[in-house]
Amino acid sequence: MAIPDSAFITIGETTRSLEEVADGRRPGAEYAVLKHGHFSKVLAMVDTSIPPGGVGGMLRFAAHAYRRSFTARNIYLGEEFPGIEYLALQAFLRRSKRIAMLIHNVASLRRRLPLATLRLGHLLDHVLCLSEQSKRELERDYGMDRSRITVIGSRVDTEFFTPDPAAVVQRQVCAAGAINRDYDTLITAMTPLNVPTKIAADTAWRYSAGVTEQRELPSFVEMRSWGTYVKLRELYATSAIVVVPLGKPMLSGVTVALEAMAMGKPVILTRNPYVEDFITHGETGYFVPPGDPEAIQNLVRRLLDDPSEAERVGVRARDSVLSRFTVARYVDKILSVWN
C-alpha cells in the first residue's frame, strides 16, 4: 500500500548493504521493502553526511528530517533514535501530524525517561512494539492506551535462511551474537558432554552475563567471528542444535533464534517475558531457565541422542517462522497502522 502525504524516518541501510541483499550475500529486512513505494519520502540518516551515533548527530538528523517532512501529515519513526529527537521538535513546533513509532526496547531508561517521564510518547498516535510483554509495559509504565499499541513481533529473511539439504550436519552445537549473551553458562553446560561448540561472536566475553574479562576457552569451544552472513548460515546448517543463552531479561537473541528456526534447526533459548512470544516450548523450540547449565545440558543430550525429535522440532520451527515472522508479514503489520 502507498501512504499518501507521508515520510519514513530511519537510520537506514547503506547502498552496499542493499546491494549485498540483492546479490544474496546477506539477509534482507524491512528497510529494503519500505524504501520503495510505501511512503512519499524516505529520509534515512545513511543518505546524509551526518555520521550515525551520538546525541549531537541524532539531533542534527532529526532537524534535517523535520524540515524535509515539515508538511507531511503521516510520519513513521522506524527507530527510537532519532525518533525521540524528532518528537522533541514536534513538542515545540506542534505541526498537525499523525505519528507512529517503533519502540524496540521498552525496558530501557534511555527510552522511558523522554517518552514516559517527559511525556513525549503522548505525541504519538500509535506505537509499534515487538512482544506482548513490551505492550504490557507500554501500558503500565508509559501510560499508553492499549488501543494505540500494535505488537508486530520480529522478522527473518526466510529465503536467505532456509534449510540446506546438501549440508552435512555435525554432532555439534552453535550459538551466535554478543549482546546480553550468557556464554559462561553455555560452556559450563557443554563441558561434561565435550561436544564441539562453535560461537559466532567477536567480543562475546565482554558482554556475557557476569563475565568482565577474557578467559581461556575449553578445547571443544571455538569462539570467533564467522565473517559473513553466508558463513553464519553455513554454521547453522552444519550444526545439530542452536543455543541462545541470554543474560538479563530483555528482548534480545530473537534474531538469532528466528534465523536458526528458519533453517529448520531446534533452538534452545533462555526464557524471559520478552521472548516468550517467539517459541512454543517443546513444539517449535525449547526454553530453559536463566543461568541453568543443567537444563541446557539435558536438552542438548536429549536432542543429540534423538535426531528424529530434533528434526521434528526443526520442521515445526520453520513452519512457525513462515506463518508468523516473515519480512512481508512484518511489513504488513507496520503498514496496518495506516489502514
Q: What is the pLDDT of residue 203?
A: 57
Structure-block grid coordinates of residue 330: 512484518
Helix (H) or strand (E) holding 42: strand 39-44
Q: What is the pLDDT of residue 137?
A: 97
Q: What is the pLDDT of residue 57?
A: 94
Q: Is 288 helix (H, G, I), strand (E, B) or coil?
A: strand
Q: What is the pLDDT of residue 178?
A: 87
Structure-block grid coordinates of residue 257: 533464534
Q: What is the pLDDT of residue 277?
A: 97
Query: Residue 206: which pLDDT band, with cuts at 50, 70 and 90?
Result: very low
Q: What is the pLDDT of residue 212?
A: 39
pTM: 0.95
Q: What is the pLDDT of residue 10?
A: 97
Q: What is the pLDDT of residue 130?
A: 98
Q: What is the pLDDT of residue 209?
A: 44
Q: What is the pLDDT of residue 53?
A: 76
Handedness of CA 198, 200, 206, 211 (dihedral sign): negative
CB crowding 68-95: b at 16 or more within 10 Å, else e:
ebeebbbbbbbbbbbbbbbbbbbeeeee
Q: What is the pLDDT of residue 82?
A: 96
Q: Is the pLDDT of residue 208 over 60?
A: no
Q: Where are the domains of the chain?
A: 3-156+326-338, 173-324
> Quick one: average pLDDT of 267-296?
98
Q: Is the pLDDT of residue 197 over 90?
A: yes
Q: What is the dihedral of CA 38, 39, 41, 42, to 10 degrees?
A: -60
Among 3.30.450.40, 3.30.390.50, 3.40.50.2000, 3.40.50.970, name the CATH number for the domain at 173-324.
Answer: 3.40.50.2000
Query: 230, 235, 224, 293: which is closest to 260 by C-alpha?
Result: 235
Alpha-carbon span 107 to 104, nearest angstrom: 9
> The cell 502525504 sits on which residue?
5
- Fold exhibited by the domain 3-156+326-338: Rossmann fold (3.40.50)
Alpha-carbon span 109 to 111, nearest angstrom: 5
- Residue-averaged pLDDT of the chain: 94
Q: Is the pLDDT of residue 214 over 70?
A: no
Name the region of 177 (left: φ>0; alpha: ψ -120 to 50; beta: rest).
left
Alpha-carbon span 131 to 275, nearest angstrom: 7
83-109: pLDDT as tens digits: 999 999 999 999 999 999 999 999 999
97-145: pLDDT as tens digits: 999 999 999 999 999 999 999 999 999 999 999 999 999 999 999 999 9
Alpha-carbon span 331 to 290, nearest angstrom: 32
Chain Cα centroid distance, residue 286: 18
Q: Do domains 3-156+326-338 and 173-324 have the same CATH topology?
A: yes
The proportion of the chain whose per-residue pLDDT surpasses 70, expressed as a percent, equals 96
